[in-house]
Amino acid sequence: MLTVRIPKRNVPNVFGRSLSSAYVCRQESRAQYPPIVDIKPEPTLLRQELSDHEKIRNLSTVEEKSIGINMPRYYGWQSLVVKDKVIPYDFLPFAQTVTKTKIYEVDTLPNRLSNDDCQQFIDRIKPQLEDSLVFEYNRNRSRGKAIKSDKNIDESGSTNEFAKSIAEQVNRIFLANLSADYPHLFEAQIDYEPRVEGFWNVHGFAATKEDEEIRKKKNVPKENLKNPIDRWIHYFGRPTIQVRHHLPLPSVPLDKWTLTTAQSATSDIPKTAFKEFSIPNYDYDPSIYHKLPYERRHGISIPGFWPNDQQKFGLLSIHTNEYLEDRPPNFGESEHQEAVHAQAILASFAWLIGQASYQGFTICNELTYPLVNQSIITNGKTWSFYMYQLNTMRFFKSQDDINRPIAPSNICWGTKQTELFHNITDDRIVGWNDDVLKDLLSCYVNIPKSRDHEMCPYLGKEQLVANIDDIKKRVWLHDRYKVLTSHRPRHRLLPEVYDWERIYKIEHETRHFEARRRFFELEQDPLNERRLDDHYGPYIQRKDRDKGRRIRKKRFDDMYYPNV
């Protein structure tokens, strides 16, 4: 065998120390180093949170963003379920804390018209309203049985039906009379009993014993066990009527309305007396005190219509408060009033985050401009009016540092419950309250205006899944979005620890010799670790696979989950 040996010493070594160090010295000015970051566990988690949210921000369509929020959990997020008409005792502090809302109880709302403007409309509307109110009051709504004549209207059980039909009549009369003069009402869409859902995260709840147990398992240091934690909140609502328009309501000039007190009001600024409820720090576990249930759900924010609807901004929503009748009287009158405030805050917030999510903002990316909503809560006779301005909807832990020193808050202005009229005698309405009529009128007359800034800064050029060109991707994403919003349970049951396993395997190790096969024995946590895309795509049959040849690659179809 002939080999030519080259002695090592004689070859000039290009990668040798002297040459390469010289090379490094030359390149040093051009070198790019990764940023120096704090690698302690907590800052790492916060960085992870921010980078995940950045990924969601970069998604180009509304539907993909809402799938993106759900990506970390296959079985859905463990969330507190809040329903619109289930309002426990002392609920306002909770509602304010989870929505970061300041509420001002005022006599006149920011959108109130001056007296001269409304008088002619009120005069025109009054007789029509009287007709329909008297009709609704005298109508037999017992579905077959005759109402006893001596029974008062307030005692009849069907207040919801009653309030609903009165709200519908009032809405009809106002729209019919005003749309000639106010074309925005002519363009508006009206939904009856739409499905409204809001899903958001709130940081800062006190850790429960279970949370501490979970943290102990994750080897969190002892001093951090009691740190505040995040809770996901899922709101389900069903307003009686909602009116929406393709332009947003103008934002409230804040300098005029938050700073005026009864004493300091000057002459040119409207004089308003108000009672302020500033944001409390309600961090108790709501499942104990308010008995709110925890459920595992895919988080979805829907404002009552699908994303490709043209009328995307809320004008007005009307709710009923028949639940007040069933609340025990020992709660007290002022508590009942606060319950209505809480209902208004939650309903407006949930509707507005739904609208904001259709503009491309999510709970992970802060709003860039305020959104405004008006809402009315009624039981047919007493009415209260609310105006809500959404300034912020990102309540994650990483937001705390961004918000320092002053955190923005949402603002709600509301009136007390006021009677529209005093009584009905001999088919005539006695004691009209014109203030309520003016408030009603002001809600309808508030004209939405186009804004001069960009409305969807976080959306790509497609904006909606419907505009994606790739037909396969479009259909897939559309189906996936509909499946998530439907809240149907997953195909397979949730993994469960049976009682005998908890007793004889987890709490007391009595079965040493059995094979460890179950997820809790393998130190897995499928509920919190399995991701939404952790499954195969649809199976491709062999005949459809590469001209029927026997190959094993690519047996499952593509999936288009967003990369979050």
Partner 1 sequence: MSTRWYPIYQRGNPQLRIFLPNFWMKLVRPEEKQPKNVVQFKVPTGMTNYDIENYLKKIYKIKVIKVESSIENGKMKRAIFNKYGPIVKEDDFRRAFVTMPRDQEFEFPDVCTTEEFKKRTAEDEKSSKVSQDMYKDFLKKQGNRPGLPGWFSF
Provide the minimum distance between the beta carbon of 67 and partner 1 in the complex, in angstroms, as a whole number. Answer: 35
Nearest-approach distance from CB 210 to partner 1, in angstroms: 9
Cβ neighbors of 157 (< 8 A, separation 6 or more) are none
Stretch that binds partner 1, among 156-164, 203-211, 263-271, 300-308 (CB under 8 A): 203-211
Q: Which stretch binds partner 1 (CB under 8 A): 19-27, 330-338, 362-370, 387-395?
A: 330-338
Binding mask 205-234 for partner 1 (x = CB under 8 A): -x-xx-------------------------
The piece of 23-31, 201-209, 256-264, 440-448 that touches partner 1 (CB under 8 A) is: 201-209
Q: 510 or 541, CB closer to partner 1?
A: 510
Binding to partner 1 in span 248-287, by CB under 8 A: 283-285
Q: Which residues ranging from 73 to 102 are in contact with partner 1 (CB under 8 A)? A: 89-90
With respect to partner 1, which residue has the nearer C-beta, 125 or 292? Answer: 292
Q: Under DSSP, is residue 418 helix (H, G, I), strand (E, B) or coil?
A: strand
3-state DSSP: the chain helix, strand, coil percent, rounded to 5? 40, 15, 45
Instruction: Decide whether 292 or 465 has the Cβ nearer to partner 1.
Output: 292
Q: Does 432 bind partner 1 (CB under 8 A)?
A: no
Contact call for residue 332 and partner 1 (CB under 8 A)? yes
Contacts of 122 (CB under 8 A, 6+ apart): 434, 437, 438, 441
Shortest Cβ distance from residue 226 to partner 1 (Å)?
Answer: 9
| Nearest distance, CB of residue 244 and partner 1, angstroms | 37
Question: Is residue 289 within the footprint of partner 1 (CB under 8 A)?
Answer: yes
- For 528, the enclosing helix (H) or strand (E) is helix 526-529
Write down the least CB distance from residue 101 to partner 1, Å: 19
How many other β-carbons are positioned within 10 Å of the β-carbon of residue 209?
A: 8
Amino acid 500 reads W
Q: Name the β-bridge partners of 387.
A: 374, 413
- The footprint of partner 1 on this chain (CB under 8 A) covers a number of residues equal to 21
Q: Of 218 and 291, which CB lies nearer to partner 1 in the complex structure?
A: 291
CB of 96 to partner 1, least distance (A): 14
Identify which of residues 472 and 511 has a Cβ nearer to partner 1 in the complex: 511
Which of residues 283 and 533 has its CB atom nearest to partner 1 in the complex? 283
Residues numbered 490 to 509 that lie near partner 1 (CB under 8 A) are 503-504, 507-508
Instruction: Give the binding range for partner 1 (CB under 8 A) out of 100-108, 266-274, 288-296, 400-408.
Output: 288-296
- State the minimum distance, in angstroms, from the CB of residue 283 to partner 1: 7
Q: What is the DSSP string of 304-338?
A: SS-TT-S--EEEEEEEE-GGGGGS-GGG-HHHHHH
When asked if residue 306 is in the footprint of partner 1 (CB under 8 A), the reply is no
- The interface region with partner 1, picked from 97-105, 323-331, 515-523, 543-551 by CB under 8 A, is 323-331
The 20-49 contact track toward partner 1, x by CB under 8 A, reads ------------------------------
Could you give the CA distance from residue 236 to residue 249 in angstroms, rounded to a whole number? 24
Q: Which is nearer to partner 1, 323 or 413 (CB)?
A: 323
For position 512 contacting partner 1 by CB under 8 A, the verdict is: no
Alpha-carbon span 437 to 383, nearest angstrom: 10
Kindly state the smallest distance separating residue 228's Cβ from partner 1, in Å: 10
For residues 295 and 79, the answer to whether their CB atoms sit within 8 Å is yes
Question: What is the identity of the amino acid at 161?
Answer: E
Q: Which of 188, 312, 250, 187 is nearest to 450 (CA)?
A: 250
Q: CB neighbours (10 Å) of residue 288?
A: 9
Q: Hey, which residues between 516 and 535 contact partner 1 (CB under 8 A)?
A: none
d(CA 38, CA 436): 58
Q: Where is 21: in which H helix or E strand?
A: helix 17-27
Instruction: State which of residues 10, 120, 263, 510 lies at the interface with partner 1 (CB under 8 A).
Output: 510
Give pairs for 426-431: CB < 8 Å, separation 24+: 427/134, 427/138, 428/130, 428/134, 429/130, 429/133, 429/134
Asked if residues 394 and 365 have their Cβ atoms less than 8 Å apart, the reply is yes
Element spanning 245, H or E: strand 241-245
Residue with tokens 């006893």: 148
Q: In this structure, are residues 331 and 390 in contact, taking their beta carbons and an 8 Å threshold? A: no
Which residue, among 220, 229, 206, 214, has the nearest Cα to 529 in the 3D structure? 214
- CB-nearer residue toward partner 1: 116 or 507: 507
Distance in angstroms (rounded) separating the CA atoms of residues 563 and 59: 9
Q: Which amino acid is at 218?
A: K
Report 353-372 residues binding partner 1 (CB under 8 A).
none
59/92 with CB nearer partner 1: 92
Paired tokens of 269: 């600024």
* Residue from 5, 145, 291, 491 binding partner 1 (CB under 8 A): 291
The whole-angstrom separation of Cα 342 and Cα 120 is 34
**Could you tell me which residues are beta bridge partners of residue 296?**
78
CB of 413 to partner 1, least distance (A): 24
Nearer to partner 1, 112 or 290 (CB): 290
Tell me whether residue 483 or residue 503 sits nearer to partner 1 (CB atom): 503
Residues that bind partner 1 (CB under 8 A): 89-90, 206, 208-209, 283-285, 288-289, 291, 328, 330-332, 335, 503-504, 507-508, 510
